[in-house]
Structure 1
């Protein structure tokens, strides 16, 4: 198969099939209900806030920063595979044909986020009278043009530097994009000359890295690693909803959390809990799963204006956190470090229960603090924290009873 256009087409079909295979487990009726409650409550709170927003609110600055950040972040989707290092070498002079299609897909797959942000910000911009219909239409056009050039700029920067210092490149593009959109949205006459000037700077920056990349060979290893990491992030996300055989776990030391761990000592009275705490803190999937769910619970307390909806929302997240932590800590029975200890197998389940209980207590405290800051000193934050802890404890005990019955 020497036609790179055909290779891209086949890989794209396989990629979309892979996405659809797992996304059908993600977008289920349960998630639709959660999204409905979240979007509805957030939209209501946003609309109520817009009624009271002062006219001097810096909406143009906020919109420029958010849209600039959304446009500046986004890696190219190449669908390259490890074997391409060998099999693409004879066709390297035709590789641009393959990469043009990858950059085109990268552009259209990354456009929805900045456009969604812009649509969400439109009521705020209209409420503060900082822009009119002309600026809105111009902004929509400029979003497309900037994203088009930024996708190619990041690609050429990565090709010239093999990805080193990519956040410096993104910072430069973020500053240029934020200034450009502020000049467009602010509606200040003396800022209009900045629009073509910033456009010229973006073009010069793009051409600079394009020329630099032409002098270097194509960095297969970097783009293949980038593609593998991108797919691994998708598999980790899908693994929250269904088992993904392609998933490879990763660990990080996280020395900054060392204060939560007692130093290892001879004659440890609870080695199972020691190992489980360390497993929870150092396993990326488990740790970031809990962090994300806890952050969502805190955001729900802060943003949702109806107490009953908050109770349901944080209760659902507490259930999800506890049940997934329990199952995650039970996994990996082929070999575990506790097998090296003269400990009975019966000590593992109580240790899992106590470990997850302690972690969920931290989640309840986080919800309590967020409630006290948002609502003030009252019984409502206490009820929120109690719901998180009670739902978690009931879930942990019910899961433990099912295990004993099995």
Structure 2
């Protein structure tokens, strides 16, 4: 294969097939029902809230911040592989053609989120009497233009000066915020000025990037990390053989870790707590599910819907943490002890999961207070999370004992 055009086509076809292979396990009928309830409850709460929103509500600030954040991060999708460091050398004169198609795909694949956010924000802007239909259309065109320019800017910044990536993102965040905010409050002409400034800024980095060789290692690592994030997400729904775990020290959570002792009964508890805190998959899994539960308790005004939502996530938290903490196949030194290692590990895992469910329930109680006040409902939300979490722990233990 002697054409970068053919190589990109083959890579893209393989990439799409890889996504489809795992996404069919993610978007199942059960998840569709969850989405239907979540979107329905959220849409109902949003529409009811819009009937009472005051005209002085800072809708422009919120819309400008959200859209700016979604436009800011514009990492390119290159589909590069480790072997390309050598394989692409004879075809390096065709690399711009490959990257052009890569940046085009990166732009279109990142557009849905900011466009959906803008569509969701339209009723809020109308309710607070901000902007006109023409300005809304101009903002949508601005989003499309800025996303394309920002993707190319970040691509060139990574080539010219990879240490300037986050300062560059902050600059682009500030530019997008000022353009959207001032465009709504002052004049639609600000949108055109913002696009011109963004293009000039992008041209500056494009000119600077021509002075440096293409950093294959950096873009290959970026691509591998991006795919690994997708595999970790898909692994919540099905087994992914490509998944490679990662760990972080998290010294700021040292106070929550058990201290080492010389008692054999503390071995599994010591290991399990450290495994949870320092393993990225398990730690971020609990944090994500707890954050989603807290947002549901904070935003969903219908108690019955909130009960179902919180209960479902409490069940997911308990099940996935137990499976993740007990599913490791790595050899550890405690397996050399002449004890019932599996039994003591199961006990330590369930003890930790029980504590995490209690912590989640306390967070849910605090999150529900602003919406429901000092009433019975916040306590019921926390109690449901506790009951379902405890029942899941016990039923999982009984099922394991049967096997």
Give the structure-2-normalised TM-score. Answer: 0.97
1:243 to 224, 236, 239: 239
| Aligned mates of 1:246, 1:126 — CA distance in 2 | 47
Per-residue deviation, residues 259-295 of structure 1 (Å, max 9, x unmatched): 1123212236422111111111111001100100011
Deviation >6 Å, runs of 4+: none
Secondary structure at the aligned position of 1:164 is classed as helix
| Aligned mates of 1:173, 1:370 — CA distance in 2 | 33
Aligned to 1:123: 123
2:220 to 207, 218, 224: 224
**Does the Cα contact within 8 Å between 2:157 and 2:164 map onto a contact in 1?**
no
**Does the Cα contact within 8 Å between 1:276 and 1:352 map onto a contact in 2?**
yes
Q: Which runs of structure 2 are paired with 1:26-105 in the superposition (5 Å)? A: 26-105=26-105
Aligned to 1:254: 250
Per-residue deviation, residues 136-162 of structure 1 (Å, max 9, x unmatched): 11111111111111111111111112x
Give the structure-1-normalised TM-score. Answer: 0.96
Per-residue deviation, residues 294-350 of structure 1 (Å, max 9, x unmatched): 111100101111111111111110111101111111112341242244542222222
Q: Which runs of 5+ in 2 are unaligned?
A: none
2:351 to 325, 350, 354: 354
Aligned to 2:302: 306
Q: CA deviation at 1:194?
A: 4.1
- Let me know the Cα RMSD of the aligned residues: 1.4
Aligned to 1:152: 152
**Does the Cα contact within 8 Å between 2:153 and 2:202 map onto a contact in 1?**
yes
| Aligned mates of 1:388, 1:195 — CA distance in 2 | 47
| Aligned mates of 1:127, 1:371 — CA distance in 2 | 26
Q: Which runs of structure 2 are paired with 1:184-199 in the superposition (5 Å)? A: 184-186=183-185, 188-189=186-187, 194-199=190-195
Q: CA deviation at 1:169?
A: 0.6
**Does the Cα contact within 8 Å between 1:275 and 1:338 map onto a contact in 2?**
no
| Aligned mates of 1:289, 1:377 — CA distance in 2 | 30
Q: CA deviation at 1:2?
A: 0.9
Q: Which runs of structure 2 are paired with 1:347-386 in the superposition (5 Å)? A: 347-386=344-383
Q: CA deviation at 1:200?
A: 3.2
**Does the Cα contact within 8 Å between 1:275 and 1:337 map onto a contact in 2?**
no
Per-residue deviation, residues 369-393 of structure 1 (Å, max 9, x unmatched): 1122331222211111111111111
Q: CA deviation at 1:220?
A: 0.2
Q: How many residues align?
A: 402
Aligned to 1:390: 387
Assess, with a 3 A threshold, how the Cα gap between structure 1 residues 32 and 337 changes in structure 2: closer, same or farther.
Answer: farther
2:204 to 196, 202, 208: 208
| Aligned mates of 1:52, 1:298 — CA distance in 2 | 23
Q: Which runs of 5+ in 1 are unaligned?
A: none
Aligned to 2:401: 404
Q: CA deviation at 1:74?
A: 2.2
Say if 2:167 is the partner of 1:168. Answer: yes
